[in-house]
Each structure stands twice: as C-alpha cells, then as structure tokens.
Structure 1
C-alpha cells in the first residue's frame, strides 16, 4: 500500500534555531548538551523547545490530549516523519 506524503512540511513553521534544537534532540542530546553544542544557555534551549512545541501544535497538557506521552518524543517523531522516515 502506498502512503501519500504530506503536502505541507510542519517543520517549515520553525525558525532555524528551533530546527537546530530539534535536529540535536533527534540525535539524542540532552538540553544541556544541546546548549553546549549551540553555544547558548540551557534556558535558550528550553525557550526554543517550548516555541517549537507550539509551532508543531504538539499537546502540552493533559487537557490538550497529552497524558503520559513525552513531548520530546513527539517532537522527534515529527522531525523524522518530515525527513521521510515512517
């Protein structure tokens, strides 16, 4: 069975900084490791992660459909799907 690719890439809504954080998340780096790699503060990584979550429309709270799902995992899955890994 063939799958149809998305016509809109959800990562297009992200800034370059947010995409950089997401790519490093997909590589398995922690927030502190991402901050060191990008030469920024851990707080900057947290802000970019929160912004990225809003842009990707990931559920942030239980009332939005998130229960025990890891936000980081959802973001990385979105990244991988966008890159063609399904």
Structure 2
C-alpha cells in the first residue's frame, strides 16, 4: 500500500532542488510512477525550472515532464498528477 504524503510530488521535487538534493529527484519520480502502476523504465523524466505560482511560498517551482520512450503520448491524467500544486 502506498504511503500517503500531504505534499504533492511537484512540491517534493521543488523542495529537493531548493535544498540541493536534486540528485534524488529522478528516483523520487520513478518511485511515484511505480505507486501509480507505471513502469518507470518506460519514461524519460525532464525537470523544468519555472517561476512559482502566485501565492506560493517558493520562488521557483520545478515542473516535471514525462515522456514515454516508445513515442506514445503520456496519459494526460498522469502528467497532470505529477505537477499538481497544493
């Protein structure tokens, strides 16, 4: 059973980048994909630094882009969930 975390994946990844722990971000996304019944080996993960949304305590936000290695489109719901804001 997956652990519930009050912070969204996008918030966790942004915190990792802010705290100098970006090395672990890919593993975090791969674990998240497994929790969502996806094979992480089927995806390339790209991180984009963007300005944080209005009202956020952060200055930057890291957007997570998922790309399937087989060229098929990523499920829009999955992509949306990866970048949910709290």
* Same fold by TM-score greater than 0.5: no
TM-score bucket of the superposed structures, by smaller chain: 0.3 to 0.5
Report which of the two structures shows the higher radius of gyration computed on alpha carbons.
1
Structure 1-normalised TM-score? 0.38
Structure 2-normalised TM-score? 0.38
Normalized per residue, the structure richer in strand is 2
Normalized per residue, the structure richer in helix is 1
